[in-house]
Structure 1
Amino acid sequence: MRKVFRELKSLDEVRRILESLTIDLDIEEISIFEAYNRVLAEDVYAKCDVPPFDRATMDGFAVKAEDTFLAEEDKPIKLKIVGNVKAGEVPRVEVDRGCAVEISTGAVMPKGANAVVMVEYTTVRDGYVYVYKPVAPMENVASAGSDAMAGELIVRKGKVLSAREIGLIASAGVDRVKVFRKPKVAIISTGDEIVEVGRPLEIGKIYDVNLYMITSKVKECGCLAFPMGVVRDDYLEIKRTVENALKTCDIVITTGSTSAGLGDVIYRVFEELGDVFVHGIAVKPGKPTVIAKTKNKVLFGLPGYPVSALMIFEVVVAPFLRKLTGLEVERNKVKAVLQVKTYSDVGRREFRPVALVKTGKFIAYPFTTYSGSVSTLAKADGFIEIPENVAFLEEGEEVDVILFGDYKPSDLVIIGSHCLGVDLLIELCSVDAKVINVGSTGGLLAVKRGEADLAGTHLLDESGVYNIPFIKRLGLKDVILVKGYEREQGFIVAKGNPKGIRGFEDLLREDVVFINRNPGSGTRVLIDMKLRELAEKLGLSFEEIKKRIKGYDVEAKTHTAVAVAVLMGKADVGVGIRTVADRYGLDFIPLRPEEYDFVVRKDRLGKESVKRFLETLRSDKFKREVRKLKGIRVTERTGEIVEFS
């Protein structure tokens, strides 16, 4: 029988529940060498005074302070040197009136001395020291017990031990401390379609992402992680694995098998093993989340999509784990301006991954499709939270971005059309680059706003000229066009071209399914231009032509996505570059070569990363390596700068 979701809980309800949950962790005694980032389980008291004696804090001369009160820069006082004391020595000399003892930093103060004159304010001649500046009693002296006295409480229970606390504990003569045992967390991936990394990948199977990702996040939260592999969507097998995990671990995290589908069994397993108090959260992504408690242990069932699993881990699981380990619960945030209008589902709090660009202020580029997108995890810098009662966020609206880690601005920002040639250029010039694929038009606008150093573009105007008409039309100023390379555009079809596709007329056939490209991309401009020509030839309107093409409204954001759709049989044909067709073993029907160029802001031309990128574009090494990418070729104009008004 299919299990439907219980009443969805709000995220705030779930957080309140987890804040009240505790897990009793054992106490263990460890060396202070191992104590960094551990949580103290009992107060620590000093075994001795810190420091244990009056000591000099500067190199100089130990004196009676009152002997120096009349010292002036032009009238130094004269004191007889009666000995010296080095650090670690027991003083064997006493300071009387009119005398001084040379002393090193950290040395024990000799009897009779109550101050140290810094060596910078003295000169030595004929066994006497001349003092040019007076000192006050106890100046440049650390008195015994000034940091801590024997028996004094120096670090309280519950404190997360940093290098500072460990240094204080060591100075007080304490070499071992009692800390709470690190929580042990088991991580289990579920799903019949999941394959462990390293095994052969069959059609319909995908490599496991969650086991490795969640294991890393668990360690980041200060816990001990125990990855337990992949388990099939089988009730008994999942239950047996979870039961084994509970024998040794405090927390169990599963991914997959959480929603209301026939194959999703985590709810039933958790219900049998403990008390389920969450089955579904009013958030997106991550609605099908299950949380339960059994005795002194907690179970989290996360969704199977990698981004959904990561989001729920960040907003639900991580704060709970960090509370147990004593690490800071609040994550780093930055204020950013949203680059595009962003829609959300009213009634569910949404967490949307974003990429950040810094231009004096942060600019956030939200990802539009992401739950099952593994690449989003690598490209996203953080995420924004959209409240339940908000239908959309406006372009230009300021938002809080919760960072996945420490944000580091990239040396080079490229926003525009996706191309494997760009990937090659970045690899060859060895710069830290952020690449955001939003299409040629989006790239030009990003350059105009100053968010990108450069944009890759291949927009074909009806006049037959690439890129320049669009630069003028969009009002870009103070930019240059750098000629890139030619790419061969054409139809991507299955091996052997089983549907016999030859031209755009074939897209109108009932037995042909097409996959389109996203608006704003150069390839979409080419597709629509060719379809308008076809409409004119057939005496039809452009709208009529679009309606007759199966799949015209299905859009892929990259050339690779087009190739994969054809490879998987979701489409019979799409338009893309020869390079990706060759990479996926598909057939290619040429349409025309296109010019893929770069638009660069003039104020970024002096930037070292931009100079290296353009030098690489013009290099012999790039010319050699690009030949390996079938369908891309450099020309005599590659690297040429085109100025225009």
Structure 2
Amino acid sequence: MKRVIFHDLITLDEAKEILVSRARPLGVEEVPLEEAYGRVLAEDVYSPVDVPPFDRSTVDGYAVVSADLAGASEISPVKLTLKGRVEAGGFPDFELSRGEAAEVATGAPIPRGADAVVMVEYTSEREGAVVVYRSVYPGENVVPAGSDFSAGELILRKCTRLTQREIGVLAAAGVRRPRVYRRPKVAIISTGNELEEPGVPLARGKLYDVNTYSLAAAVVESGGAPIIVGRARDDLEEYREILGKALAAADLVLISGGTSAGMADLTYRVLGDMGRVLFHGIKVRPGKPTIAAEVDGKIVVGLPGYPPSALMIFHSVVRPALLSMQCMRQTPPAVYRARLSMRTEGAKGRRSLYPVVLINKGGYVAYPLNAESGLISVLARADGYIVIPEDVEFMEEGEEVEVYLFERYTPASLYFIGSNDIFLDRILAKFDVKAIYVGSMGGILAVKRGEADVAGTHMLDPETGEYNSPVIRRLGVKGAVLVRGFAREQGLVVARGNPKGIRGFEDLLRSDVVMVNRPRGTGTRTLLDMKLEEIAKGRGISVEELAKNIRGYTHEVRTHTAVAAAVAQGRADVGLAIRYAAEIYGLDFIPVGWEIYDLLIREEALERAGPIIEELKRASEMPPGYKRLPETGEVVAKF
């Protein structure tokens, strides 16, 4: 037999690209959540519900109206009437008025009218009353509805590999059977007369079959499903027969051994006869005789027989193709040194772990995410975490930290920081964008610091009544442009049929009306406070005084849909939000006006953001309560 001499060697990168270019996802299937670990999402997942679906307590204690406890201490305790008790899994059928409290368990819903929970350690119960020995601030020990993620929010992206964190997110959203890509079936054949099954005594000249089992494990780690076909002796007909079985059973075939130019090496001969050889020989050591072919439309890869060589070539050449068949990319894990984007508090005597997003801006920036009790969506968005030692009270902005990655890190093409919008979310999902939602003001400041490429903002300037531009100028942002986005209709969200007969902002002052509010720094909150300031001026009092007479003014939730959830569940009578949130929950909507949601983009990122802008221009269908503007997609201001 004439020996084969390798003349046309290709590079390792070329070999990888040849296989990756032929790798395609193999179809979609639904799997039970308990079998979803390691699978890859075949579609974007939007939450059908708010999580949590109600305002809940993070401690055992008493739900209260925080204003009742102003100045409370061990010297001057406050006595409240015990109105009722709420256990986890139950739901209160009563509301709290001033001077009342309700016992709540950890995880239990807080009753309407309450805006904080005081820990049981700071209370005592006596004859139908609760004595409280410390004050609480609005929202203390309460996780608001939708603070984890909101109904309609993109919670996991297509092509995300499901680990324990993502599966927790799916379970929290009530997704029972996610749609995932089918796992590649990978048939494994080892060749050689010398191979023996592990566990049996070795005869002279025999070796245990290592590659079958090491490659099977490598396939599992790569998300594939291994099929152990068996071992082929150095016999041409037996070799053809076992390869035929493998091709019938699998999507990809791995053969170890028999790839070099030796007299007994059959792989290159069989593959050359049965299919089309893609390459034979790579400029790498070890692994030079690696061969790949296309047989019956399937990829067959012949790996070196030596186990270390077989595994190294698998990880360098085959694994990227397997990942591509599942819509995944290969990236190495690491611990990164990064600059902290903002001052971050420690846990005072306890080691603090903070989930972070890692932003690559000519040096890594670690952007801490809100790690409130019970928020699992934070982990799904985070790249890793930082550790704040027990004896450190806080770490300053700009301080160097180590980021411990959860998985492998892949820098995004664009970083979006700012106000969340469900419509824009669907556009961003089409591109390689890392999104962090911190509100309009947080986004503008992130662009100013150079951490964000794009910010979503709908900040109303109280002085001019204009959106976005005046606020951005006042904050001193430089080297950025404002691209016109779209308009969203704002209004008062009320129960179906409007049972309280609410007509406008004046009704928020009624004693029988409970509202739900948005946080400071959001465009919606700014609009509300402007409306209240007009009322306050008419009455000759300050906004602060006026707010004291509004039940629920201090009850803040993160999203528009969380406002709607509070109204839908009867925890509030009214809240200011966009029309789309009311539509989701089937609520009535009292229009107030239209706000403008724009994109603030750093000039150096404008070209990279171009596809997003074009997609925004092309978008023909918008949710209820949205509308295009004449300048949508155009630069309307420079800074």
How high is the TM-score relative to the length of structure 1? Answer: 0.49
How high is the TM-score relative to the length of structure 2? Answer: 0.49
* Greater length-normalized contact order (CA 8 Å, ≥ 6 residues apart): 2
